[in-house]
Amino acid sequence: EMSTKQWLLLPEKIHAFDLGKVTNFDPGSLSQILSFLKSLKKVEKNHFSFNVSPLLMSFLKEKGLTSTFNIKSSFDDGLNALSGGKKKQVDAKLLKPFIDGASNAFQVQVGINLKGESPYSKAHMYEEGDAIAGQVNVNLPNFKGEICLCFSEASFIGTYGALLGEEISKIDEESADAASELLNMIYGHAKTILNRDFGMVLEPAIPKAILNPKPVKSANPVIVIPFNSDHGKLRIEIVIH
């Protein structure tokens, strides 16, 4: 588990807490959380909480902690509030089809069950330590931006072996194609849902594989959808211009 100090060293400027499964906090856990929130403020990082049940809301009100937890009605609401309305808002309807697409692609094609983690926002694309990414560029009237699927070296090598039944010791241009193929499945699923259910007009797009991508500052918030698997962590990044 990561220490508070390690969390504070992460590049993310906004921390979102999904409290959908929480009904209250025991004294020890509450003390640790309050200490962490105080530390976030000291290093000038923002946070908000969402999916707060009526029972938990009552608990926090009783403790006088609703403002401390910065409770918002939804992930979108929290992100938009902290961006001051100056950045493009990413609607939650864009996220679920990608989450479902990733879960389906990895379960059916790779035989891996992904464990989704809470989405968050950051100010740049990619991370130090990324070994491979699939990236698709979308340039349409109602959607302009990039969608990426990012892996560490160990995570990709394990995923590649499960996908193709072949062991590799390093990532080369040939094996890198698997990252773009997986992203193509995820994007295809999301495109179908968004076009059918939300009236968007996303078109087919061809992902490319990028070896050793470096962090790039973004003019708009980068929404990160993290996952964990038996082979390590991976994530989808979405930025809309």
Span 31-62, pLDDT tens digits:
989 998 988 888 878 889 999 999 999 999 99
Nearest to 121 by CA among 210, 207, 238: 238
Q: Which residues contact 158 (CB under 8 A, 6 or more apart)?
A: 229, 230, 231, 232
pTM: 0.65
| 198, containing H or E segment | helix 173-198
Domains for the chain: give ranges and CATH numbers.
4-82 (3.30.750.24), 92-240 (3.40.1550.10)
Q: Are 94 and 100 in contact (CB under 8 A)?
A: no
- Tell me the CA end-to-end span of the chain in Å, nearest whole number: 35
E-assigned strand segments in the chain? 14-18, 46-50, 115-116, 120-125, 132-140, 143-151, 208-211, 216-229, 232-240
Q: What is the pLDDT of residues 110-164, one digit of tens each?
A: 999 999 988 888 889 999 999 999 999 988 776 788 999 999 999 999 999 999 9
